A and B are shown apart, each in its own frame.
Chain A
Amino acid sequence: MQTLMINGQSRQVDVPEDMPLLWVLRDVLDMTGTKYGCGIAQCGVCTVHLDGQPIRSCVIPVAAVAGRQITTIEAIDETAVGQAVQRAWLEHEVVQCGYCQSGQIMAATALLQNNPMPDDQAIDTAMAGNLCRCATYTRIRTAIKSVARS
């Protein structure tokens, strides 16, 4: 039995220790906002925050996150920055198919929480691990900058 702190709530899950956090979220807790894309930390769609830092939940065993603060897309609007990022995403019509956008928003929120005024290089540095096959990159950049300005 593992005790997880997800979005401020304590959740008990009875899963093998090596089960990646992603599948605990999706298949055990039915929190499907966090997506599966590659399983090898190369696409970023599974990004969640662990103690405020963006991590890839597909390659982190649940045992490694027990007791630590996990934030998922479902609760990112409880932070001021997260909410601003979501607003900017809609404002700039970033989304196309939308499958990667949970991960993009989690990565962008973490970036802006750590660096409220990221330049292009900082955006590349923080966001390059997140693939978007619809290639909404131009608008992601614009939306991040618009949050930085506000």
Chain B
Amino acid sequence: MSIKQQVRHFILTNYLFTEDPSKLADAQSLMQSGAMDSTGILELIMFLEEKFAIKIADDEMVPDNLDAVDNVVAFVERKQAAR
């Protein structure tokens, strides 16, 4: 699975409780749309650190990196490239 597929699957099954891909748009804000709450974002961070073997620093925990599937994928790719 691609990074995007894995991230989407994680969010769909753990927060939207569905496997229907149409329920999650890649650009939609995860917080504003109510898809995830603060606990969910933290769980997403732990998921990313474990799944993609990256370490997310405090100051990287910002909406630009985490608040939509597109942002998350771009962020993970940057982190992996910098490794």
User: Are A and B interaction partners?
Assistant: no
B-to-A contact residues, CB < 8 Å: none
A-to-B contact residues, CB < 8 Å: none
